[in-house]
Amino acid sequence: MAVSSSRSAVRRSPAPTYAHYRQYKQQRVRRNLVVWAVVFGAVTWAVWSSGFGLLTLFNGLSESYSFIVTDALPPKLESVPDYLGPTLETLYMSVVGLVISVVISVPIGILGARNTTVHRVVSYLAKSIAGIARAAPSLVITVFFVAVFGVGPLAGTLALGLGGVGILGKVYADAIEEIDAAQIEGVRSTGASWLQILGQGVWPQFKPAFMTWTQYRFERNVRGGAVIGLVGGGGLGFSLISAINLYQFRDAMTIILMIFVMVMVIELATRALRRRAI
């Protein structure tokens, strides 16, 4: 140790000694201690003040299990045809909501991306719009649309559409910003206009990300569309809340299973289509 510390005066950076090692270890421990203190503090506070413990968890799960087995099973398969209409309605909502999101998000993406925007301020504004839309859960948006358009699928569709702008606007802008600048330079050097640059230089590179994220959002819409009816947005969610209000738990279970099947089928179908179409 003595040797290495006397030698260190000559070196550019001092040779680390055991003291440094201890210091390093202690620093790590201190750092982690703060994090774990925060985490454990928060969890103990929440568990203690909510009175929700392991016992509540297992009681709740076993109660739910016996409830499902006795009151909600077997699902009423004979009422499946009654809910095909709402299922389709959910799909319609997802599709139209997606179109609305894309139509709004593409300009937001183009104007938000630093490399294709018309002005820095415009880019900032476009990104802020997406940021606000992202922070608002779509169910909250639905509450306001229901207030304006009344209960029904229109409110739900618009809420899905607006909710999608938050995500799609951001990822479109990000994807466009990652585009290879040299290829745009190439198109620009031919004297192309702004629109021509977008069409010939930007779109071909943007297309894969665009397809992936749009597909992702469609899958999210199908899930969201099933839920949004719970607050009056139409579709399967609305049938579900009606069934529950009438204590028709086996109908409710049927609807829940139909939501599950619909989500799975849509995911498989979009994946198959994507392989084929692109």
**Which residues touch 26 (CB under 8 Å, ≥6 apart)?**
none
208 makes contact with other proteins (CB under 8 A): no
**Cα(71)–Cα(247) distance, rounded to whole angstroms?**
10
**Cα(139)–Cα(156) distance, rounded to whole angstroms?**
9
Q: Nearest distance from residue 186's CB to other proteins, in Å?
A: 13
200 makes contact with other proteins (CB under 8 A): yes
Whichever of 20 and 114 has its CB closer to other proteins, that residue is: 20
Closest CA to 110 of 187, 210, 188: 210
Using the contact rule CB under 8 A, the part of the chain among 13-21, 115-123, 167-175, 178-186 near other proteins is 13-21
Using the contact rule CB under 8 A, the part of the chain among 37-45, 111-119, 173-181, 188-196 near other proteins is 37-45
Write out the binding residues for other proteins, residues 135-164 only, by CB under 8 A: 135-137, 139-140, 143-144, 146-150, 153-154, 157
Whichever of 37 and 118 has its CB closer to other proteins, that residue is: 37
Q: Nearest distance from residue 164's CB to other proteins, in Å?
A: 15
Torsion of the alpha carbons at 29, 30, 34 and 40, rounded to the nearest 10:
40
**Cα(90)–Cα(227) distance, rounded to whole angstroms?**
9
**Which residues touch 83 (CB under 8 Å, ≥6 apart)?**
236, 239, 254, 255, 258
Write out the binding residues for other proteins, residues 101-130 only, by CB under 8 A: none
Q: In this structure, what token pair is assigned to residue 258? A: 């139909």
Q: Which of 160, 165, 179, 226 binds other proteins (CB under 8 A)?
A: 226
Q: Which of 16, 77, 107, 181 binds other proteins (CB under 8 A)?
A: 16
Write out the binding residues for other proteins, residues 228-257 only, by CB under 8 A: 230-231, 240-241, 244, 249, 252, 256
Write out the binding residues for other proteins, residues 159-198 only, by CB under 8 A: none
Closest CA to 73 of 255, 267, 254: 254
Contacts 24+ apart (CB under 8 A), 82-88: 83/236, 83/239, 83/254, 83/255, 83/258, 86/229, 86/234, 86/235, 86/236, 86/238, 86/239, 86/255, 87/235, 87/236, 87/258, 87/262
39 makes contact with other proteins (CB under 8 A): yes
Q: Nearest distance from residue 25's CB to other proteins, in Å?
A: 9
Write out the binding residues for other proteins, residues 46-105 only, by CB under 8 A: 46-47, 49-50, 52, 54, 56-57, 60-61, 63-64, 67-68, 71-72, 88-89, 91-93, 95-96, 99
DSSP 8-state secondary structure symbol assigned to residue 1: -
- Return the residue matching tokens 């319609």: 92
Q: Which of 37, 180, 199, 268 binds other proteins (CB under 8 A)?
A: 199
